[in-house]
Amino acid sequence: MGNPADKFDDQTRLELEAAAFRRLLAHLDERKDVQNIDLMNLAGFCRNCLSKWYLAEAEAKDLELDYGAAREIVYGMPYDEWKAKYQSEASGEQKKAFDAEMAKQNH
């Protein structure tokens, strides 16, 4: 059967994936009310994960980029600025759910 994306040439698939990633970043930017801990608890990844994945891909291509710069790309601003403006203290319930999610991922 195959993957439906296989019908696209490599450049088209790359452009579609890049556009989808940009839309994901824009969506996350519009939803600053959604905390990273909530993303981790529900989906097993967050903005920091995206930053780490972005950095890993840059490093795989021998491109100079550090984690702070990768975070700025994903967050749309320096992380410390985003954190001060939009991050709230995690509740006990959020922390408990996070610990349970981490235990599942590290089994």
The CATH T-level fold of domain 7-105 is SMc04008-like fold (1.10.3340)
Tokens representing 63? 């491109």
Is residue 56's pLDDT more than 70? yes
| Domain range list for the chain | 7-105
Mean pLDDT of 7-34: 95
69 or 6, which is more confident: 69
Give the confidence band of 107 by pLDDT, cuts at 50, 70, 90. Answer: low
User: What tokens were used for 21?
Assistant: 């990633």
Cβ–Cβ under 8 Å, residues 90 and 83: no
Percent of the chain with pLDDT over 90: 80
Q: Measure the CA–CA gap between 19 and 12, rounded to whole angstroms.
A: 11
pLDDT for the residue 100: 87
72 in Cβ contact with 15 (< 8 Å): no
Per DSSP, helices labelled H in 9-46 are 10-30, 36-43
> What is the end-to-end Cα distance of the chain in Å, rounded?
33
Q: What token pair was written down for 59?
A: 């490093």
